Structure 1
């Protein structure tokens, strides 16, 4: 334990913690769900990725220059886009352009507002603040973005006849696709809304727990958690909204005719 009351974890501690993952894999194998290899690979990938990020952040924190920080943020955004694309088998037209733009505007805009108007740290590129805060915003927005894109594509396919009928009756493309947009947006923001509803009573969020374990006063940690959760909710909403608004247009021609792949 250090001077601030933070308990340092050693290699043996991590081995004991990792045994819980092996227990989960053993239970999965016992029930023959067929996901044991994927679970093992995901856990190993998590460990190596976090170790790599830890060493990289140690270097970035020592450099004190904005370019490496911005490069890290671009890599984070690009990797999140790749993960979203890997999750969705049937992608909408112009998928990477639509989702990439939505992530850039939603996550980038909210991160800028949150860091400059809420946290008030200096300099603006301080990696100890910018990278963790941007990571939380991007990570949660990534889930919302994948839900929005996947649900929009499913809704457009399932409602194809309904949309074509509405177009034949004189509706615009936006009017015909309005139910699909509404359902896709609802699906994207619902997990975040559920998380907010359960936070504090059912679960203690990770950011707050980490700050308390590091010795931060509980009320300070609570204020930070409230602020970041508000930022996450805004980023998820903006990102999902931009995906459904831009995404539905990719299903229509300039003459407002439905064009499904």
Structure 2
């Protein structure tokens, strides 16, 4: 089934329903919904043109450039979601996202899907994008919760440090809670996948006429990749935050 621009226009009319609800209940979201809809059309149309060009050429440096830009945008987005940012947060976020997403994406390409070459754009770009989007949310939740704890529990942390605890030991409870919070959206999705919702990759393949069995297998692989990426990114971000908040003499600092 091929969608025409007229079909897309009809679908866009559905946004009017959300806008009318906002106006009726005075939610103040009408302008935001309109801007979001326009951005959705503009951004996806632009990326569609770029991907069509990259797919036709299939050169590694162009694919790597797109992956790098995607990661940078995700890092900025994750940083902007933190209510108490510190100097170096962008670097820490970028490092966590890069290590997690690129390592898991390469494992998927080389060992699971066995795609040659690894930079085949129609595989690596959507796979890394899925991992990146979920890791972004995970890092935002983990980092935000851990930073809040370090600010709010200064006295308790300093007391533990005075009792010869290491920075990791003094923050162990907070690190566990922060990583758990970051992982929870992914875990919740895995708990109800196939029962409450049919994820995007599986739905897209089925609508495109693919074998449902293969669509399910691809979705299972995708969910496991997302889970691993979220776990790695949450852990790295938490450890990097702790490193920023303690000096070489294991004293608690609150960086600006």
Q: TM-score when scaled to structure 1?
A: 0.94
Q: 1:106·1:239 contact (CA, 8 Å) conserved in 2?
A: yes
Offset of 1:223 from its aligned partner?
0.5
- What residue number does 2:186 align with? 192
Match of 1:210 among 186, 204, 208: 204
Alpha-carbon separation, structure 2, partners of 1:88 and 1:37 = 24
Alpha-carbon separation, structure 1, partners of 2:47 and 2:219 = 23
Alpha-carbon separation, structure 1, partners of 2:76 and 2:173 = 28
Q: 1:110·1:231 contact (CA, 8 Å) conserved in 2?
A: yes
Match of 1:44 among 34, 38, 49: 38
Alpha-carbon separation, structure 2, partners of 1:170 and 1:235 = 34
- What residue number does 1:60 align with? 54
Instruction: Give 1:117-136 correspondences, 5 Å limit.
Output: 117-136=111-130
Residues 92-101 or 114-123, more deviating: 92-101
Offset of 1:46 from its aligned partner?
1.3
- What residue number does 2:18 align with? 24
| Higher RCO (CA < 8 A, seq sep 6+) | 1
Offset of 1:36 from its aligned partner?
2.4
Q: Deviation string for 1:183-212 (max 9, x for gaps)?
A: 110100000000000000111111001001
Q: 2:55·2:122 contact (CA, 8 Å) conserved in 1?
A: yes
Match of 1:144 among 132, 138, 149: 138
1:164 and 1:36, CA in 2 relative to 1: closer, same or farther beyond 3 A?
A: farther
- 4+ residue segments displaced more than 6 Å: none
Task: State the superposition RMSD in angstroms.
Answer: 1.2
- What residue number does 1:179 align with? 173
- Residue 104 in structure 1 maps to residue 98 in structure 2: yes
Offset of 1:170 from its aligned partner?
2.1
Instruction: Give 1:219-234 correspondences, 5 Å limit.
Output: 219-234=213-228
Residues 139-148 or 182-191, more deviating: 139-148
- What residue number does 2:72 align with? 78
Q: 1:155·1:180 contact (CA, 8 Å) conserved in 2?
A: yes
Q: 2:175·2:238 contact (CA, 8 Å) conserved in 1?
A: yes
Q: 2:79·2:93 contact (CA, 8 Å) conserved in 1?
A: no
Alpha-carbon separation, structure 2, partners of 1:73 and 1:92 = 26
Structure 1 unmatched ranges of 5 or more? 1-6
Q: 1:92·1:247 contact (CA, 8 Å) conserved in 2?
A: no
Offset of 1:154 from its aligned partner?
1.3
- What residue number does 1:90 align with? 84
Structure 2 unmatched ranges of 5 or more? none
